[in-house]
Structure 1
């Protein structure tokens, strides 16, 4: 079994990606925003099991092709098995994206929830730009965690009791300074792409708002609730002393760490399958044209 972390997260990836977008919105982006009218060859950085290819290929002009790159041996194996049952033209490259050599032959370079895990996202963006032909496009679907955290509503629960945005922002910024890995990268990519010479940069936000409705049928409600739990909503924070020590180590004061632990604990206690909840992931979708 692979020791690569994301090789162990297959079920999480498969069970939560659908929370982010409605298919008609992706179709709108392809046809009305990006105006892709001819077959394209796209490369997906950090492709996982090829999720974005499976979402976009049905929407792209006939003859479009997909290349996925990922370090995960099991993820690539699973992707090949999935695509073997389709008619799509697809290939996969197993390797470390920071070191693997990519030719400049692609019409589109894209990433999905990948750059936030990179210690030097600017370096990866340069690589993405370098793999695209003149006039090609870079597309990044990346998160903005603080907007995500502001987008829960639990029925009869005050948001400030379960989500403390100021403390969370402090944590995210500290972690980004320390490791370079930035959960708020989605909001920064427009600036980074423009600084790297990409033209016509624009940014959209994902459209899906998930509604845990007590009037929906039980199977659908159960599926949505489980997906939200896997996404981390209402997660039990763990041993109080250990978690608070970790939070202090991440830059919080003792009072802030205790307050954050208690907020997470209240969220975990309060969130269950029998309550109303709305949740919008707020993924940022940035695109621009490479001109040389």
Structure 2
């Protein structure tokens, strides 16, 4: 197995991407918001197995091209295999994006749930800007974790017993200060884009609300439940002492750590395939235009 973490998470990526967007909303972005009417060349930073390419290429004008870049050699291998079965113009590059030197030649640079994993996200964002032609676009599909958790409802329990928003907010902020990796980058990204010189910056929010409905057909219910579990919903927190120590090491107070552990434990006991649950990931989609002097 590859030593690169995400090379070993291909199934996770495949099973969870569908939680974030409805296909018609992506079509709305391409056609009504970005108004892409001519063929474009896209570079995808942290492309994984090419998820965005699979979603966007069928919506783009004929003649558009897609270049995916990722550090994961297994991910790039999977992407090449997947796209060998379709007729789109694609290229995939396995490399360390932090060391990547890209020419200013693309119409659009995108990332999807990638910048949050970088401890130098502004450096990567600057690379994205530098790879785009004048009047091209930079687009970031990035999460807002505390917003995600606020948009989750498990029927039959007090939400404050299973989702400790105040503790989670502090935990995410502490992680960002300690590591530079920002799970809430989606809500900050419009500001960063404008500060780095992008023009006409806007931000949208994904429309998908996942509803685990006990009246839906069994196949659909099982698939959605599996995706939610893969995303971490109802995951058992493990040994109490070890879990609490880990949270304390992430700079929570012991009482806060125990509260968070108890919340995760309660969620794991109450969430199952027979639960009623709604979850709106509210992915933030920020974009701006490159205008060179």
TM-score by structure 1 length? 0.99
Q: State the match for 2:209 in structure 1.
A: 209
* Matches for 1:133-282 after TM superposition, within 5 Å: 133-282=133-282
Cα distance in 2 between the residues matched to 1:93 and 1:199: 29
In the TM superposition, what whole-angstrom CA distance separates every residue of 1:159-202 from its partner, at most 9, and x where no partner exists? 10100000001000000001100000000100000000000000
Q: Aligned with 2:99: secondary structure?
A: coil
Q: Aligned-pair distance for 1:287?
A: 0.6
Q: Distance in 2 between matches of 1:152 and 1:100?
A: 38
> Any unmatched runs of 5+ in structure 2?
none
> For 2:268 and 2:286, how far apart are their aligned partners in 1?
33
The separation in 2 between residues aligned to 1:285 and 1:103, in whole angstroms, is 24
TM-superposed CA distance for 1:251, in Å, is 1.0
Q: What root-mean-square deviation, in Å, do the aligned CA atoms of Structure 1 and Structure 2 show?
A: 0.6
- Which whole-Å CA distance do the structure 2 matches of 1:98 and 1:130 have between them? 13
Describe the superposition over 1:78-100 as per-residue Cα deviations: whole angstroms up to 9, x where unpaired. 00000000010000111000002
Question: Residue 289 of structure 2 corresponds to which residue in structure 1?
Answer: 289
**Partner Cα distance (1:7, 1:249) in 2:** 27
Distance of 2:155 and 2:189 partners within structure 1: 34
Matched, 1:3 2:3: yes
Where 1:188 maps in the other structure, the secondary structure is helix
Deviations 1:194-239 (A, max 9, x none): 0000000000011100000001110110000010000011110011
SS of the aligned residue for 1:236 comes to coil
* Deviation >6 Å, runs of 4+: none
In structure 2, distance between residues paired with 1:196 and 1:144: 20
CA deviation map 1:46-105 (0-9, x unaligned): 000000000000001110000000000000000000000001000011100000211110
Which position in structure 2 is the counterpart of 1:24?
24
Listed one character per residue, the Cα deviations across residues 109-153 of structure 1 (whole Å, up to 9, x for unaligned) are 000000000001000000000000000000000000000011111
Structure 1: 5+ residue runs without aligned partners? none
Show the counterpart of 1:101: 101
Partner Cα separation in structure 2 for residue 197 and residue 181 of structure 1: 22
Length, aligned pairs only: 292
Tell me by how many angstroms 1:154 deviates.
Answer: 1.2
SS of 1:62 mapped into structure 2: coil
